[in-house]
Chains A and B, each alone.
Chain A
Amino acid sequence: METLVYKRPESLLKDGHFTFCPGCGHGVVLRIIAELLDEFNLQKDTIAISSVGCSIFLEKFFNLDVAGASHGRSPCVATGVKRCKPDKFVFTYQGDGDAATIGFNETIHTACRGEHITTIMINNTNFGMTGGQASATTLVGQVTTTTPAGRKAELTGYPLHAAEIISKCDGTAYAARVAITSTKNIIQAKKAIKKAFEAQINGLGYGFVEVLAACPTNWHMTPVESVEHIDKVIETVHPLGVFKDITAQENK
């Protein structure tokens, strides 16, 4: 008896290969999304909205229709798509530079309008693609190319907590922060993204999942050190948790 233990999701291109740096978190999250789209049988009914940064090349990995957006504007493009095609599944895939920095206004308003779309935001606390500059989520003390002596609160303030803020918007159905630092955490992350997808599928409102992910290249750490850094340091500033789940409130 042979048992199939690994299957490439239909939602990934057969000849698509992730082009991320070693130890980067993007590939894991893209794989989770693809698996979930397969599980919900949505591959043929999905329009993915890419953004700017390492999150941009969705059409090179996903076997999905993809619309590109300018920096920070994916939620607006997604709004336009979803309002025209309300029976399609629409999600944005963004980084912290995109969704939490240049485009946070758009993210908040999309949440407040309760758009029936889902945002997956990879938070690696820096602008990865441009070489590791400080973003809105950068930790105080974090060394980046624009804060070589570490982020100083008295000069550039404090990190933005995206999932918590989005959870306060009335149109948000689900908001959570997850990590992908261990098998257990990856399973939790998949559960959270599934919940956010269900919020859209069931017409409940906006779903937002922030994923803490490693950026070993720009953090100047090994992949193993990066994962430890997330668990030991980043999670103390950007804590994991479900900040809003209107289905849980209904169940109470």
Chain B
Amino acid sequence: MAKVLVKGNEAIAQAAINAGCQCYFGYPITPQSEIGEYMGEHLPEMGRVFITAESELASINMVIGAGTTGTKAMTSSSSCGIALMQEALSAMCCAEVPGVIVSVMRGGPGLGNIAPAQGDYFQALKGGGNGDYKIIVLSPSTVQEAIDLTYRAFHIALKYRNPVMLLADGVLGQMMEPAEFGEYPYKDPDVTQWALDGANNRPARNIVSLHMPEGEMEMLTNRIFKKYEEVAKNETTYEDYLLSDAKLVLTAFGSVARVAKAAVKRARDKGMKVGLFRPVTLFPFPDKDLHDTAKKANMILDLELNKGQMLLDVRSAVFGACPVEFYGRPAGGLLTPDMIYNKIAELYAKLENTTKTEAGVR
């Protein structure tokens, strides 16, 4: 299939259709409304389900209904809309209901603004829902990757019976880029062993999230955390960009990573040994790989469009193997290649000085 020029939000919508998404339930919010508009145009004519729900509470709970029948379903929203879905995401993890949630981040807190931002890393990864649970979070940094990860989101949602979030931001949602759809590359698991379709020739089933008997919730939680270990083993993904000899390693996810790449290139041209470690899966976070990378590096520079959220996972992974610096702008402030390059140059000069001083002492 040939490459096409496509907007990020529409690419995600078309990829969902290609992935066999039978239902879309959503509520409009900038900067992701094109997803719902695209679904509203295409799903009904394909005989699939499209509903503009009365709220984000309603849309995610409709996804739950579809998910309990083993049907591929999706919702999409942004920041304050995703905030309304947190109770349901916790319930989905508990009841093991699959579903795909697209989060196209805007500026926050509060209603914030409609500029691109990454302030919802905590929201996606550390949850606003109750209890011990994890949603799987995939972070695309190009329109092509948004397509590929949308395919993957639908597959692993069914594979692990867990909600999967595609965490994009306003830059990626609104930008146009050449990309290729190809075909949905996965073979999905059989759902007939657990899905609800009426107790016909089998005992009645239930998919619920209340477990009152003593010890039952503890056992269930331990079991789903075993599952998360499997997810970490099988799904952890990151991009290694010029890391092999990097003394200064940048960490960044999503749209910031692509800006960081441009700055890394420029620094390399100037002879600085700089690389980029880009987590593609945010849960599972590539902590072992980042730790190994940090052991070989002299410093990590974490770049984010927020006040330092992935930073906590980066520090936890690095675990003292080398110093970690942070550079970011919140709530709609963007990082340009120049700004990142200047920060690289500043830190790299410090590194060189430190290395020289240490050599002198020896």
Contacts and interface: CB of A to CB of B under 8 A. Distances in A.
Interface in B43-77: 49, 51, 53-55, 57-59, 61-69, 71, 73
25 contacts: A13-B204, A43-B199, A44-B201, A47-B69, A50-B208, A59-B204, A66-B196, A66-B205, A67-B206, A68-B207, A68-B208, A76-B57, A76-B59, A77-B68, A78-B65, A79-B62, A79-B65, A80-B25, A80-B62, A80-B73, A84-B22, A84-B49, A84-B73, A85-B197, A89-B198
Contacts of B67: 80
A85 B209 CA distance: 22
B197 A88 contact: yes
Majority-rule SS of A interface residues: mixed
Nearest to A83: B49
B23 A84 contact: yes
Q: How large is the interface on B (under 10, 10 to 19, 20 to 34, 35 or more residues)?
A: 35 or more
Contacts of A85: 69, 197-198
Interface stretch (B9-17, B87-95, B272-280, B304-312): B87-95
Nearest to B97: A67
A65 B205 contact: yes
Interface of A: 13, 43-47, 49-50, 56, 58-59, 62-70, 73, 76-85, 88-89, 105-106, 109, 113
Contact of B53 (A68, A76, A88): A76
A13 B206 CA distance: 13
Contacts of B209: 68, 70
Contact of A113 (B51, B57, B65, B198): B51
Contacts of A62: 204
B357 interface: no
Contacts of B22: 84
B204 A69 contact: no
B199 A65 contact: yes
A45 B65 contact: no
Given A67-B68, A70-B88, A80 B208 contact: no
Given A70-B88, A73-B61, A63 B210 contact: no
Contacts of B208: 50, 59, 66-68
Contacts of A84: 22-23, 49, 65-66, 69, 71, 73
Given A76-B57, A84-B65, 4 more contacts: A77-B61, A80-B63, A80-B64, A83-B66
Given A80-B67, A88-B197, A63 B23 contact: no
B54 A66 contact: no
| A-B pairs, 7 with minimum CB distance | A80-B65, A68-B208, A76-B61, A59-B206, A73-B61, A109-B54, A80-B62
Contacts of A56: 210
Contact of B64 (A63, A69, A88, A106): A69
B193 interface: no
Interface in B160-215: 196-201, 204-210
A73 B51 contact: no
Given A44-B199, A65-B205, A81 B69 contact: yes
A68 B210 contact: yes
A199 B87 CA distance: 32
Contacts of A47: 68-69, 196-198
B114 to A, nearest CB: 25
A64 B57 contact: no
A80 B210 CA distance: 20
Given A65-B204, A113-B51, A73 B199 contact: no
Contacts of B69: 47, 80-81, 84-85
Contacts of B57: 73, 76, 106
A26 to B, nearest CB: 16
Contacts of A76: 53, 57-59, 61-62, 64-65
A36 to B, nearest CB: 16
Given A65-B196, A65-B198, A68-B95, A81 B65 contact: yes
